Structure 1
């Protein structure tokens, strides 16, 4: 019974434990970072936004090349190196005294995170046989969500104290989790570096058109279903003046509990990329249905709004679980084994693009469109769900050795 609740022994469990430790610190930092940088350092909101934007662009541009480096030097060394660099940089955040020092450190953090994401995906791909990759990735996502949630609770302590000393303690504690995660990861097996084909491009992921199309579609969808609860629902409930704002917390709790407890369940029985199109279509349609349910709360009595938001939150998390499972299947399934890191890095670029376009689009749809805006968002998910299997089939058709019978299963 216990083995079903844990990833396989060895490197898989080591990766999961390192993720848990690291995300505890990340959750605390995410909770406190804005107030630390504005209240303690003295940055204006505009300076904060510009600095984070510059860092995000740099991290996006370097994601694929850093993933390529992880494939060539080995993802274990790359990931440990990224963790150590981030430990130093987060410690250095206590010395930030103005805009330019913040921009420099934010850029280094963005590069370190990009290196860590590509190498982490390649580590997962090399830690277990191909048939077990999706389930291990589900374990890691589940632990990632749980760690961030617990870290956010810990981050509430510095927020309550609201002193520079408390924020500095949080920063140093976060840096410490990177060091501990690197130490844990040092016990993992080394993932062998596979030879690159001599007759092809090195950055093959950036020339893989079906994968790039998938990356944009899936990345925007993933960013949207994440931001619905942090941007869309709060703005919506604020305009529905009779709706209690604590519903945002309740919906986030439903989402977090679902992602932590059900992600592995959602991944079991999925036959890799063969099932990815079907699972992705189902997930997109279900998230689209949740958007419509959120929109139908307009003008309802308080008790009905509460009930419908909680139902919509449960529907939302189911769709999110299926979509994330499909994402794992496609990214692992389309990448050649020698290029897992660069494919993981390239997919990160799609997520970053989504993170840039989703917030303003959501805000406009919810505040200006009302119920019609939510319905339009649901329709967009439905269209993406219909397109999803075709994009997956296109990607599979361009892989060597795939037969017409294989494509019929998508």
Structure 2
């Protein structure tokens, strides 16, 4: 029994005032500590990366003088090289500690970005972007254990917050890229590259004061291919990679659908992207609440697949409608699709850490990154064939594929539970 309960209200001690800032109380800013530093570093890093990715092809063509084919080949080769780095570097982070490995990748990215200023040929351009992508993928694998261990018992919520921060940074980065593209000068493109290099150093400076994370003892040896041999996890990576294609629906398929197949005004593509970004930033943390454990995460992916099918089915109704009606119905479809992306991200990122052993988070994060990277490589061709070539039936076919992948993931979770310690 509380001894103060018998006291009169005027004699009870008043609760101490909450001196936290309004942003912290509302959940818009994390408490001071490692989580806030990791989020701030991610924001700075993503800000420069988003701006660079939007302008890299133009820099290669306008300043270096490469052809469209050379630019596509160079970026494609760089992307493949980056995908291969994740698991081995993640394994290194597991065995040596993630802090130093992550900081090293940021320094390598800085040097590679600066070297791009001196690239005057196709080979030099490809080498610079390949090293940048290689270090970026390696950094993602090393960052995974940091998220898992600094997140503690709130990993799903923390990872959702980081995703919202990344979306916000990408929006600001895209705006900066728009200014540079409008100026369309060699000096502007070069200035953006220098700014991106500085963001890598800024991220490193922020994360330098993080507490050092020591390697966790490996209970199953130091097999650097442990994740590759984990069949349930590999099945999850494949199915989840299919679901991550949903991110390209709004950014790639929808703009072309609007321009080529509907009467909606072209500026609607910007509105759709803005709505998608705002919903993710505002709702990602709230959506992730309560999604903790394999069973609930599996259900979230099931709901996500159904939402993708409904949203894409609605978007497919736009051709033949007047411009305003087409825009309105596609906006509704985008909203439903974004709700599915929120559920998918919450479930996916919970399972990413839940299915991975604690001592091999880096290696498993690298394998997870390969799944996401492959999806972004395949997405343009697949969405182009189904949604843009087949039309409405293709949108429904793609949505059905999302449903199938979402429905299959809970079975994979139960398969994984038989070989590792998971909640029911």
Aligned-residue offset at 1:342: 0.8
**In the alignment, does 2:86 pair up with 1:63?**
yes
Which residue is equivalent to 2:7? none
Q: Quick one: distance in 1 between partners of 2:67 and 2:416? A: 45
- Are 1:335 and 2:373 counterparts? no
Q: How many pairs were matched up?
A: 401
1:19 is aligned to: 42
Q: Distance in 2 between matches of 1:118 and 1:200?
A: 17
Structural mapping, 1:229-308, within 5 Å = 229-308=250-329
The structural deviation recorded for 1:27 is 2.0
Task: Give the SS at the match of 1:152.
Answer: helix
In structure 1, what is the Cα distance between the partners aligned to 2:331 and 2:151? 37
Contact (CA 8 Å) 1:213, 1:391: kept in 2 or not? Answer: yes
Which whole-Å CA distance do the structure 2 matches of 1:375 and 1:319 have between them?
15
Deviations 1:312-351 (A, max 9, x none): 1111111001101111111110111111111111001111
Residue of structure 2 aligned with 1:219, choices 236, 241, 244: 241
Q: For the structure 1 residues 191 and 199, does the alpha-carbon distance in structure 2 shift closer, same or farther, using more than 3 Å as the test?
A: closer
Q: Do the aligned partners of 2:99 and 2:212 also contact (CA within 8 Å) in 1?
A: yes
The aligned counterpart of 1:185 is: 207
For residue 200 of structure 1, report the CA deviation from its aligned partner: 6.9
Alignment-derived partner of residue 100 in structure 1: 123
What secondary structure sits across from 2:218 in the alignment? coil
Match runs of 1:66-215 below 5 Å? 66-129=89-152, 131-199=153-221, 201-215=223-237
Instruction: Output the CA distance in 1 between the equivalents of 2:387 and 2:113.
Output: 36
Aligned counterpart, 1:358: 379
Q: For the residues of structure 2 that align with 1:34 and 1:298, how far apart are their CA atoms?
A: 31
1:232-267 alpha-carbon deviations (Å, 9 max, x no partner): 112212222522222211111111111111111111
Q: What does residue range 310-389 of structure 1 map to in structure 2 within 5 Å?
A: 310-389=331-410
> Is contact 2:242-2:405 (8 Å) kept?
no
- Structure 1, residues 344-368: CA drift from partner, whole Å, max 9, x if none? 1100111122122221111011232
Cα deviations across residues 136-156 of structure 1 (Å, max 9, x unaligned)? 111111111100110111122
Q: Residue 276 of structure 1 contacts residue 392 of structure 1 at CA under 8 Å; is this kept in 2?
A: no
Q: Is 1:309–2:334 an aligned residue pair?
A: no
Instruction: State how far apart, in whole Å, the 2-side matches of 1:225 and 1:266 are.
Output: 17
Decide whether the 8 Å contact of 2:215 with 2:359 is kept in 1: yes
Instruction: Identify the range of structure 1 (229-238 vs 135-144) with the bigger mean alpha-carbon deviation.
Output: 229-238
Q: Of the two, which has the highest radius of gyration?
A: 2
Partners of 2:301 and 2:406 within 8 A in 1: yes
TM-score of the superposed pair, with normalisation by structure 2: 0.91
RMSD (Å), alpha carbons: 1.4
CA positional deviation for 1:198: 5.0
Higher mean Cα deviation, 270-279 or 326-335?
270-279
List structure 1 segments (4+ residues) > 3 angstroms apart after TM superposition: 198-202
Query: Aligned equivalents of 1:336 and 1:8: distance in 2?
Result: 28
Does the 8 Å contact 1:235/1:366 carry over to 2? no
Would you say the 8 A contact 2:262–2:320 is kept in 1? no
User: In the TM superposition, what is the alpha-carbon distance from 1:8 to its structure 2 partner?
Assistant: 4.0
C-alpha displacement at 1:70, in angstroms? 1.1
Residues 96-126 of structure 1: CA distance to partner in whole angstroms, max 9, x if unpaired? 1010001111211111011110111111111
| Distance in structure 1 (CA, Å) of the matches to 2:349 and 2:38 | 16
Structure 2 unmatched runs, 5+: 1-21
Q: 2:349 & 2:213 partners in 1: Cα distance? A: 19
CA distance in 1, matches of 2:93, 2:214: 11
